[in-house]
Structure 1
Amino acid sequence: MKTVFADHWYLFLIKAGSNWVVSDGGWSSGQEIRGAPGQLSLYSLGEAFHGEMNPIEVLMLFIPRDAFARQAGRLDRLNNTIIDTTRGRLLSDYMLALERQLPNLTHDEVPAIVRATEAMIAACLTPTPHSLEDARDGVILSLGERARKVVQARLYDPRLTPACLAKSIGVSRSALYRLFEPHGGAARYVRNTRLAAAHRALCDLTETRQIQQIAGSFGFTSSQEFSRAFRLRYGYSPSELRADISRSTLHLGRDPVIEGGRTLGEFLRTTA
């Protein structure tokens, strides 16, 4: 029987919780790191270590050693370290974006994703003068994830303009335009994200705020502007949506169960 030695590396991105790890051998012998949410670390399965994980949610990406034979020495030196660099943060964003996109990938798209992932790992962990150009597709995906997080965090802020978004994610206005061109531009992406959030709020049977208050909480300073944009996006006004939900609730009872075991509120929240 052939014995297979697992000497891959793996990237360890903490989404929630914490850990601590001490290396027991290799380049990083005796080195201890303590991880916190948002931190990305690299570990080698070829080196012994011990530690502790508190209640934790992580995203792990395993890296076959054979795929990075030329960079093996440099990656070994990163064992049991936190990748706290600009490129490391790009790689973190890429991993999060990849996690979001995986359920939508087709079988034919997998080889391209593998190549893009390998290029991102090389560019961010063992950079060369041309490595970022090779990782262009991955960088675009990373910046898209970074922009998505900024928009979600600032939906309430009417000052979130394309210029502000470009500055927040560290790109030029022209680069931001190319990034959001498939969405009709950054301004449209921000507006549609705000409208979707407002739609979900209006479908929430526990939401008691007035429509104007809901609009303001998602960055719309004018109720008329919000109503026009909402109707253009969904084909009906915010007041019509709320009235329909109220009538349905009165007729069927609070949060009735519909097909598939979902409640009406759960169903409506998926339609935005």
Structure 2
Amino acid sequence: MANKDKRGREAKGSGQDAWHRWRLAAPDPSFTLASLDPGEKPFSGGDKAADRARVDALALELDALQNLFYADRRYKLLVVLQGIDTSGKDGTLRAVFGRMSPIGLRTVAWRAPSESELARDFLWRIHWQVPAAGEIVCFNRSHYEDVLVPVANGAITAEETGRRYAHINAFERLLAETGTVVLKFLLHISRDEQRKRLQQRIDDPEKRWKFQRGDLEVRKQWDAYQDAYGRAIAATATPWAPWTIVPSDSKTHRSLMIALAVRDALRALDLRYPDPDPTLRDVKVD
């Protein structure tokens, strides 16, 4: 029998179920991001080219599953991509979801709230962007920014942070109980890997537009943000909206792991095409 850690997840290197080490489906105050290595590749076959080919194949399979998901219309899928700057949210969208039809797929990139949004509760702007029946919606950042940025900056109290965690859990439970599958991914990279990627942005004229000097100020708060992420995940991991921590120093492995998770979630829904109109059985098109 594989050794397990105190959260019930299989210990590193057990090999029996790699997901257990990277998923959290219940609140756990002892959780820290430091316990997981962003350089690991638990789903890699050991060959980068082969892993890329698997990602491409999975993207095609996801396209077919999305078509069925859209036709079925019994469910909704919300994919939350969280991560610090350069962790790979945009790259994940291209690699994993880029083959899907835009008819049933929508991406929402969240920015700092506007003055109008700040005048309302922090979930007000989120709720109207959640998926409709048959729709897959990907959040590039999300409502979790409201328990990350203000927490790292010390802008809200511990009491308000706790209330927001509770509001998020209730909100996601509402979604789950009304037919939405919620998949939450934290793209986990190392400080050194972020340094390399930020430098690449600065050095590459075609990527320099993505870089802002404020990124360096946020980087100085690395420890504060790592702590804020860890606390948010520990408080908002639930059976109806679990977190998956994705080691993301490898871009290929990051995409592979997320593609596998989304594929497995869609397969588990037992999707089916709606019954055809029986009166159309004998119709012939001239």
**TM-score bracket, shorter-length normalisation:** under 0.3
- TM-score, reference length from structure 1: 0.22
- TM-score, reference length from structure 2: 0.22
Decide which structure has greater helix share.
1
**Greater Rg by CA:** 1
